[in-house]
Chain A
Amino acid sequence: MHTDDCMIEERLRRHFAEPVEIGDLVDVVVGRYRRRRARRVVALVAPVIVGAAGIVALASSTSPSQIPRRPSVLELAGYQFDLPAGYRVAAPSSSSCGAITLGVPRAARTSPGAVPTVSPYATATVSAAVDANGGCVTMVVTPPATPTASTPTPYVRNGRATSATRVQVDTYTGWLTTQGALTRWLAAQGLVAPAPSPALQLSVAVPVGGGAYRLLVVGSRGIAQATLLRLVARGLSA
């Protein structure tokens, strides 16, 4: 038989065309490929997760001064007042706030000889915040009460005060007074040491309907008047 190139080629092709049993080879390859891809995805994602966790851990271990923190908040009767930077909530009796008097009437005015009745405003609790430089913000929000002739609001009283300045606080009208006029006069006479800075008192009567008011009285020292007004306005509007 003459085996020319065509015959050899034909013989090769016939030989190679015979079926080959490969079993589950393809399934094995597909399975291996899936596992390999899964490992690759894990290898790609894991460093990102670890890195993010590291950043979070690093951030949480960084000193507070390096992290911008949410301002401290003074919560009072459902209102939240964002405190200026450096202030923290403190006891109202703390030394920085000791010299500040909140003009909340403790007792109702009574006729001579009658038993004094406790003013509804006197039941309010006081909150305070201080900073490291002796600054103080102390405030009180009274329960709702309807002013009467015997228990007028400090709003009315401050409105009558000669030293009071009418100010706009959010949508409310407030009265701002500077405390310690006597102290300042005595200091000017050289009789007492001057106070580090004058204390401010802001009184705002917040109508709650039915003719009733909640009275917010804020005393402060070491805070600019504009800052104080902004702080109270934001707290009342929130």
Chain B
Amino acid sequence: MRRTPHDACSEFARDAAPGLVRAALLLLGDRAASEDATQVALLRVFGRWEHITSSSSSYAASVLVNVCRDVVRRRARRPETLTDPASFVPDPVAVVPDPSDRVALDAALAALPLLQREVVAMRYLLDLSVAETTAALRVPEGTVKSATSRAFDRLRVLLDPEEGEVHHAH
């Protein structure tokens, strides 16, 4: 049976949505906001599906980054007041081998500046190449590499403070 563009869209969305939600969660730190951002991003991808010339994954990543940046900008202009205690409850996402390790990594990632989180999300969560990350974030390649390096330095310090101190002492 002939596949329609709509079928291709839906199939792509089913494959990409978990990664996009995860990436948005990394950038926004809020599950509901990340799902909203993913919906908006996928809708934009659907709307441009037949005009996408690059890989659909990198295009979706680029759109998601823009959506998340908008959310971050809006939050900066009008900080949200969380009144619902349930908002602070961690997501019951999955069974994790070492919950404490996961929590520590989440906390370390959350402490990174936005650009570094974006780079980490593109490179290691969505598996984009440096070139694709450059295109998705619309920053020079050198910026991607330096942000990656700084992010790793920061994570190294946050995840193993003692090693980080030693590392920086050298």
Contact = CB atoms under 8 A, between A and B. Distances in A.
A13 B125 CA distance: 7
Given A16-B22, A18-B96, A19-B94, A3 B163 contact: yes
A191 to B, nearest CB: 90
Contact of B124 (A3, A9, A26): A9
Nearest to A15: B105
A32 interface: yes
Interface string A5-39: 10011011101101111100110111011001000
Interface residues of A, number: 24
A114 interface: no
Contacts of A12: 105, 120, 124-125, 155
Given A3-B156, A3-B163, A12-B120, A26 B93 contact: no
Nearest to A4: B156
Contacts of B160: 1, 3
A2 B94 CA distance: 28
Given A3-B159, A8-B155, A20-B21, A25 B124 contact: no
Interface stretch (B9-17, B72-80, B138-146): B9-17
A26 B159 contact: no
Contacts of A33: 9, 42-43, 46-47
Interface string A195-219: 0000000000000000000000000
Contact of A2 (B10, B17, B163): B163
Contacts of B17: 22, 25-26, 29
Nearest to B18: A20
A15 B103 CA distance: 10
Consensus secondary structure, chain A interface: helix
B30 interface: no
A5 B43 contact: no
Interface residues of B, number: 31
B18 A22 contact: yes
A26 B10 contact: yes
A10 B21 CA distance: 20
B66 interface: no
Nearest to A21: B93
Contacts of B43: 29, 32-33, 36
Contacts of A25: 17, 21, 35, 38-39
Contacts of B93: 18-21
A11 B10 CA distance: 31
Interface in B125-165: 125, 152, 155-156, 159-160, 163
Contacts of B25: 20
Given A2-B163, A20-B22, A33-B9, A15 B102 contact: yes
Interface of A: 1-3, 5, 8-9, 11-13, 15-16, 18-22, 25-26, 28-30, 32-33, 36
29 contacts: A2-B163, A3-B156, A8-B155, A8-B156, A9-B124, A12-B125, A15-B102, A16-B19, A16-B22, A18-B93, A20-B25, A20-B93, A21-B94, A22-B17, A22-B35, A22-B38, A25-B17, A26-B17, A26-B42, A29-B13, A29-B17, A29-B38, A29-B39, A29-B42, A30-B10, A33-B9, A33-B43, A33-B47, A36-B47
Given A26-B17, A33-B42, A33-B47, 12 more contacts: A12-B120, A16-B125, A20-B18, A20-B21, A22-B21, A25-B21, A25-B38, A26-B14, A29-B17, A29-B38, A32-B43, A33-B43
Closest 6 CB pairs of A and B: A16-B125, A12-B124, A33-B46, A29-B42, A20-B18, A26-B13
